Structure 1
Amino acid sequence: MSTTKGAAHGRRGERQAGHQVAWAMDHQGQFRRAALELAIPDDEVSRFTRHLRLAVRLSGSSDGVAVGQFGGLPRLPVDMDWPLAGVSPLPFIFSVDCAMLPRIDDSGLPADGSLLFFLDHEKDHLAAATGERRYAKVVHVPAGVDTQVAQEPTNYQANGEQYDVGATLLAQLPDWFGTDEDEDDLSPFQQQLARDLERDLPHLDELRALAYDLWPPDEGLASACIGGYVDDEVITSIAEQTLAGREKAGEIVIPVAKWYTHVEQEKHRLTSEWLSLASFPLVDTYYYGSFVIRHDDLTAHRLENAFSVTEFSE
């Protein structure tokens, strides 16, 4: 079992700092300058960038610059036990070195240390109906903490072969942000959103094309995605639970005939508050895992408020 001491972390941090500076840049400024060169009005660019998010795509590293590890055994603080659900060890999915990730404007992600994700996908999926959240855990290990490769727990089955991942940026826009559906197929609320977009962003097509040109959307098989928008089904579920909780508390009364409209409006509101901390397919399964968190919780490093949603894709 190997141990990494604080001094070693310090030397490693110095090496990583240079890489982080190379990654870091003013992405909104980059986008604005490129849009202005296309003669798009500055106020319209500002309205668009309020909705533009950048996410980090993790995939097998081919350039030798590794930002994280999938599978295998995690590095845990020397005084930390393997995370459990009851008496069962939670499967380790992956970890990322926060200092090595591309810096994203106002992302809220920790600037250093590492993030480790653990998930028992089958039990987490089954527990969703009861609201249990003990089958998933995200751990932030601060920089400078002594760590070691954890011992494999008894009867533990590793989550696939260990491999390193590199990082690239990709642009994301909310699902409601422009749609190819016929207006007659949209709800009244969606029709209003479409009219507002047409009024406020007459150059929407050019702005969207520019964003995807600068930071191409996900192509091919990615190991995971850090940040960005929450999956539509997940944010819909959060909206439904939020409204149901408010009804139960007596704060609001929603007529059955108006329920879907209220969910749409609540989902639209929550889209700006929530973000995807991590999303990833599970190796050799039909499950898809995700960790979601409010932006203010992530900024304050309240990672205990993150929760997982495991979906079955087939």
Structure 2
Amino acid sequence: MDHQGRFRRAALELGIPDDEISGFSQHLRLSIGLFGGSGDRPVGQFGGLPRLPVGMDWPAAGDSPLPFVFSVDCGALPRVDGFNLPADGTLLFFLDHEKDHEDQTGRYARVVYVRAGTDTAVAESPNSEIVGEQYDVSATLRAELPPWFGSDEDEDEDEDEDEDWDDLSPFQQQVARGLERDVPHLDELRALADELWPDEGLASARIGGYADDEVIKSIAEQILAGREKAGEIVIPVAKWYSHVEEEKHRLTSEWMSLARFSVDWAGAFYSVSFVIRHDDLAAARVDKALPVTEFSD
């Protein structure tokens, strides 16, 4: 479905100029929420036992089998503009969240892509403790904007708006001011996006959309540190933060979220994010996805 076209037509009907729509649409992304319970036909499965290619071993880190989190049928998911998910086949996510949080090398996380037509079978679990409760999920779309757009939930509360603005870096404030200048109907466009693709609440996972801000920050810092070490650039300490923010802004067009979900383990909550480059996803190189597991209070 042409979601950008749908958004443009709806905005034009509101009398919003085409150039403003184009400026706003550059930042609009859609993510796919996976929800358990009743709904449309299932698009994936959480927990239980995965279907793996015949003859494939259960993914593991050394001698440690990785817990299966969920799988999605790419062909059953709604197609999203700019999100080059494989047209068919299945994505399976494996993660030992505790070890991934402690280790941070990525060896305790795995994304497996099974191409359509591959002979598969329900895998036999190497350890019953890593098999969670099974349930099917359906899909719905949600509009997403960059973090520097801020939240519009408290637009009537000036104090909350000021706090949101203060949370932005100087570079993000500069970008936001530029957008407000170039897109006078910013609030109307944001409201329209939320109306067309509303937030349906807490999802079991979200596929696509913007990568987690802290994850992109970490990648930006590593890139800049590597360039400094190679002698390509010299960044004064006082300018480091601003350079990181500029690099983050550049990386948002290169990286995206592959999957985000939370894990509740014995009362402890972990936020998990798999990020991937657009070109790696388009080539189905999902093994290039970077996992980040963070502890949440």
TM over 0.5: yes
Determine if the alignment matches structure 1 residue 211 to structure 2 residue 184.
no
| Among 292, 297, 310, the residue aligned to 2:275 | 292
- Give distance in 1, aligned partners of 2:174 and 2:186: 16
Contact kept, 8 Å, 1:125 with 1:310, in 2: the verdict is yes
- Give distance in 2, aligned partners of 1:44 and 1:209: 14
Q: What pairs with 1:140-289 in structure 2 (closer than 5 Å)?
A: 140-153=113-126, 155-178=127-150, 180-181=161-162, 186-219=168-201, 221-284=202-265, 285-289=268-272
Structure 2 unmatched ranges of 5 or more: 152-160
Determine if the alignment matches structure 1 residue 34 to structure 2 residue 6.
no
Q: What is the aligned partner in structure 2 of residue 105 from structure 1?
A: 81
Name the aligned partner's letter for residue 253 of structure 1: V
Per-residue deviation, residues 70-121 of structure 1 (Å, max 9, x unmatched): 0011000002111110111111000000111011112110110100000011
Point out the more displaced range, 223-232 or 190-199.
Answer: 190-199
State the Cα distance separating 1:124 from its structure 2 match. Answer: 0.6
- Give distance in 2, aligned partners of 1:82 and 1:188: 47
Q: TM-score, normalization: structure 2? A: 0.92
Three-state SS of the structure 2 residue aligned to 1:139 is strand
- Give distance in 1, aligned partners of 2:49 and 2:130: 7
Q: What pairs with 1:294-313 in structure 2 (closer than 5 Å)?
A: 294-313=277-296
Q: What is the aligned partner in structure 2 of residue 8 from structure 1?
A: none
Change (3 A) 1:54 1:254: same
Per-residue deviation, residues 154-183 of structure 1 (Å, max 9, x unmatched): x34134210000000000000012573366
Name the aligned partner's letter for residue 295 of structure 1: H
Question: What is the CA RMSD across the aligned residues, in angstroms?
Answer: 1.5
Between the two proteins, what is the percent identity of the paired residues? 71
- Give distance in 2, aligned partners of 1:187 and 1:116: 36
Three-state SS of the structure 2 residue aligned to 1:282 is strand
| Among 40, 48, 72, the residue aligned to 2:48 | 72
Contact kept, 8 Å, 2:45 with 2:134, in 1: the verdict is yes
Structure 1 unmatched ranges of 5 or more: 1-24
Per-residue deviation, residues 108-161 of structure 1 (Å, max 9, x unmatched): 101101000000111111112xxx2211110110001110000111x3413421
Q: What is the aligned partner in structure 2 of residue 95 from structure 1?
A: 71
State the Cα distance separating 1:192 from its structure 2 match. Answer: 1.6
State the Cα distance separating 1:217 from its structure 2 match. Answer: 2.3
- Give distance in 2, aligned partners of 1:184 and 1:57: 30
Q: TM-score, normalization: structure 1? A: 0.87
